[in-house]
């Protein structure tokens, strides 16, 4: 195989890889757009907590590798889920 043919094959492989990367990038952009739209639907609230409770939640969040806001959302979501279970029984 000549050097020119090898270069052409390499170029074809690189173009195929670029197409795959472009498709993945497009997919990621669509996912980011979807997540942004989902986040836009969230309600913001001001929450006042005793400092001791805040520290406990912060420790728990750190243990679970979450932000404090993420941990509070997790706690509230689980609480609502449990409440629904109790109501339905």
| CATH classification code of 45-89 | 1.10.1220
Q: What is the mean pLDDT of the chain?
A: 92
8 A C-beta contact, residue 76 and residue 68: no
pLDDT beyond 80 at 40? no
State the average pLDDT over residues 33-62: 90
Global pTM reads 0.54
- The pLDDT of residue 74 is 95
CA distance 54 to 52: 5
For residue 82, report the phi and psi dihedrals to the nearest 5 degrees. Answer: -65, -40
Domains of the chain, by residue range, sit at 1-42, 45-89
pLDDT beyond 90 at 38? no
């Amino acid at each position: 195989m000549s050097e020119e043919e090898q270069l052409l094959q390499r170029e074809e492989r690189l173009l195929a890889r670029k197409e795959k990367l472009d498709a993945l990038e497009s997919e990621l952009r669509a996912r980011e757009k979807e997540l942004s739209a989902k986040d836009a639907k969230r309600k913001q609230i001001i929450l006042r907590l005793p400092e001791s409770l805040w520290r406990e939640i912060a420790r728990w969040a750190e243990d679970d590798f979450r932000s404090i806001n993420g941990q509070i959302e997790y706690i509230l979501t689980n609480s609502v889920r449990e409440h629904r279970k109790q109501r339905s029984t």
